[in-house]
Amino acid sequence: MRRALSLALAAALAAVLLLTGAAPASAAHHLTEGTSVNLIAQHSQKCADVISGSSADGAQVGQYDCNSGLNQLWQIDDLGNGYVRLAARNSGKCLDVSGASTADGAAVIQWSCSSGTNQQWKIENTAGNTRLIARHSGKCLEVPGASTANGTRLRQQACGTGTNQRWELNLVSNPAIPGLFADPNIVRFGDTYYLYATTDGFAGWSGTQFRVFSSKDLVNWTDHGVILDVAADIAWADNSAWAPGIAEKNGKYYFYFSAGLASGDTRKHLGVAVADSPTGPFRDALGKPLVSAGAYTGQAIDPMVFTDTGGQSYLYWGQGASHQVPLNADMVSFNSSQVRTYNPTNYNEGSFVVKRGSTYYFMWSENDTRSEDYRVAYATGTSPTGPWGPRMGLILQKDLAQGIKGTGHHSVVQVPGTDQWYIAYHRFAIPNGDGTHRETMIDRLYFNTDGTIRPVVPTLEGIEPL
């Protein structure tokens, strides 16, 4: 379960978080479990750092000049009791008072995360002074002697008023769902939002599992675990579980995906699986690909389904060219003579279609997903399969001022009964991400009065709950 931060913690964070982007500090109250921050000592402006980037239990924590290292990045785990654990992103291990000592001067280290109160910290903000207080001892995290030297080891000490016990929490990243996920497809079934994604972090995008998350407010997400494993559940594929899409018809949920083999013919195919619930488990609907590699130009990847207001569903897919076709009523077949193929300016992959009023918006990703210039553009038309007008401009692109790169392969969802829209997309994980280490983000999407789409401002902190 991905939780909103407890009220006490949220209030503290709202007061102390330094948002490095352009978003107002008032947005900090919605930060959720999984937020990553730097801990900056006020007196020295240096960062809490796992020495030498060690991943070992017992590794010492000191202060060091702030940099982009994962050993200076701490992920917040809200325990729901007014305390948090702080896990080093380089190791996944928690900030810990050694031996659960209650003595002044006890060393602060990293250790495998546990339920121990010596790993639980209260973020206290009083009169602008932010302190990190160990639950087991009631003592404060400090830099001994108010040293400004690199490498000074941190310790606990009776709380005082010194600036060497004051810490700034600098927001680095607040992904919509914690972990490495890409190619998000966000939809609403009933009163619940669901997010399906590629599980990222594998060389060559070779992951085999799909997961789904659900939410009532687009911020607090429940992880329902693996809903399909192509290596275990699909006879014709064992590798490269990519870019899912989903649709509902007559109480059944149809899950479209691309996958391939780890050896031999490594081309990708489109498959379709079916379940009685949006959280699965899903089973192969055909026992063979829905679209085989080579049947149409370009790679058979990145399926997406749009269902029009009249109930007709349409399938979109393709890298190098976008193929678009009405689905038959069974949702697992189509008439090949009805396939339309488009290759708009700069098209690469990731087709997505929405309707607003009487206008259809065809969107796609440009450039390679390994490039920091991965981005989203669009065109409009009067039917779900075009013809589409000229490229109208960019919806989403990188923002280097915030360290945001590789923004693309998106999906869009509308809040029913409103003109409120949200865009889910992936970007390079912050910091030090790349084209196989990506995280999923959700931001607002706005339309101008003339029906054009206003360029999205990507954020570090994300959206507020509905």
Rounded CA gap, 295 and 230, in Å?
A: 21
Which structural domain, as residue segments, surrounds residue 221? 181-445
Residue 271 sits in the same domain as residue 163? no
Residue 52 located in a structural domain: yes
Residue 165 sits in the same domain as residue 200: no
Alpha carbons 87 and 91: distance in angstroms, whole number: 8
Q: How many CB atoms lie within 10 A of CB 44?
A: 19
The answer to whether position 461 is within a domain reads: no
**Is there a single domain that holds both residue 328 and residue 249?**
yes
Task: Report the chain's mean pLDDT, rounded to a whole number.
Answer: 92
From 301, 283, 282, select the one nearest 291 (Cα to Cα). 301
Confidence of residue 457 (pLDDT cuts 50, 70, 90): very high
Contact 59, 97 (CB under 8 A): no
On whether the CB atoms of residues 139 and 156 are closer than 8 A, the answer is: yes
In angstroms, rounded to a whole number, what is the distance separating the alpha carbons of residues 130 and 167?
Answer: 6
The Cα 374–Cα 426 span in angstroms is 10
Q: Indicate whether 254 and 198 sit together in one domain.
A: yes
Whether residue 459 lies inside any domain: the answer is no
Please check whether residues 216 and 331 belong to one and the same domain.
yes
Q: Is residue 463 part of a domain?
A: no
> How many domains does the chain fold into?
2
Distances (CA, A) of 257 to 60, 133, 166: 45, 47, 49
Shared domain for 168 and 218, answered yes or no, is: no
> Can the peptide bond before residue 289 be classed as cis, meaning omega within 30 degrees of 0?
no
| Cβ–Cβ < 8 Å for 465, 4 | yes
Residues 355 and 221 in one domain: yes
- Identify the band that residue 31 occupies on the pLDDT scale cut at 50, 70 and 90: low
Same domain, residue pair 161 and 265: no
Q: Based on the domain organization, do 146 and 206 belong to the same domain?
A: no
Do 192 and 146 fall within a single domain?
no
* 331-354 per-position pLDDT tens digit: 999 999 999 999 999 999 999 999
Q: How many CB atoms lie within 10 A of CB 24?
A: 9
**Model confidence pLDDT, tens digit, residues 350-376:** 999 999 999 999 999 999 999 999 999
Sequence-distant (6+) residues with CB within 8 A of 135 are: 83, 117, 118, 120, 121, 122
Say if residue 28's pLDDT is above 90: no
Averaged pLDDT, 59-70: 95
Stated as kind and residue range, the H or E segment containing 55 is none
Q: What is the pLDDT of residues 400-429, one digit of tens each?
A: 999 999 999 999 999 999 999 999 999 999
Residues 246, 287: one domain? yes
| 294 pLDDT more than 60 | yes
Question: Residue 186: CA atoms inside 13 Å, Cβ hemisphere, count?
Answer: 29
Domain match, 309 and 422 both: yes
